[in-house]
Amino acid sequence: MNIETMVHNANQIAAFFEAWPEEEAAAAVEDHLRKFWEPRMRTQILEYAKQGGTGLSRLASAGISRLMPA
């Protein structure tokens, strides 16, 4: 999947939750990605984030990092 599109979408999602308290916002981003992103997309964005995640907003990165398997 086009990573630029995914980064853009992840940042959009994060922007909505930006006004929330930090921890709550990161959890909301994670929840949104889990509910609506197909697993391949989650895997891809997570891999991208692990490699530096250029272009991802701070909150998007925080939410994505929570997708990491425990």
Partner 1 sequence: MNCANNIVLEIDGRPVSVPCGTSVLTAAAQLGVNIPKLCVTESLKAFGSCRLCLVEIEGRRGTPASCTTPAEAGMKVTTQSPRLAKLRRGTMELYISDHPLDCLTCATNGDCELQEMAGVVGLREVRYGHAGRNHLQAAKDESNPYFTFDPAKCIVCSRCVRACEEVQGTFALTIEGRGFASKVAAGSSSFLDSECVSCGACVQVCPTATLVEKTVIEHGQPERSVLTTCAYCGVGCTFEAELQGNEVVRMTPWADGKANHGHSCVKGRFAWGYATHKERILKPMIRARITDPWREVTWAEAIGHAAAEFRRLQASYGKGSIGGITSSRCTNEETYLVQKMIRAAFGNNNVDTCARVCHSPTGYGLRTAFGTSAGTQDFDSVDEADVVMVIGANPTDAHPVFASRLKRRLRSGAKLIVIDPRRIDLVESPHVKAAYHLPLRPGTNVAVINALAHVVVTEGLLNDAYVSERCELPGFERWSSFVAEERNSPEATEHLTGVAAADLRAAARLYAKGPNSAIYYGLGVTEHSQGSTMVMGMANLAMATGNLGRAGVGVNPLRGQNNVQGACDMGSFPHEFSGYRHVSDDPTRRLFEEAWQVPLLNEPGLRIPNMLDAALDGTFRGIYIEGEDIAQSDPNTKHVTAALAAMECVVVQDLFLNETASFAHVFLPGCSFLEKDGTFTNAERRIGRVRKAMPPKNGMADWEITMALSEALGYPMHYAHPSEIMDEIARLTPTFAGVSYEKLDRLGSVQWPCNDKAPEGTPVMHVGGVARGKGRFMITEFVPTEERTTPRFPLLLTTGRILSQYNVGAQTRRTSNVVWHEEDLLEIHPHDAEYRGIEDGDLVALMSRAGETTLRAHLTERMQPGVVYTTFHHPESGANVVTTEFTDWATDCPEYKVTAVEIRKTSRPSDWQQRYAETRAETTLVGQDPGARRVSP
**Interface with partner 1, residue 68, by CB under 8 A:** no
Contact range with partner 1 by CB under 8 A, out of 2-10, 46-54, 61-69: 2-10
Half-sphere exposure of 23 (CA within 13 A, CB side): 0
Write the CB contacts of 1 (distance below 8 Å, at least 6 apart in sequence): 40, 41, 44
Q: CA–CA separation, 10 vs 60, rounded Å?
A: 6
* Residue from 23, 40, 51, 69 in contact with partner 1 (CB under 8 A): 40
- Least separation, in Å, of the C-beta of 42 and partner 1? 9
Kindly list the residues in this chain that would bind partner 1 in the complex (CB under 8 A). Answer: 1-2, 5, 9, 12-13, 15-16, 18-20, 32, 34-41
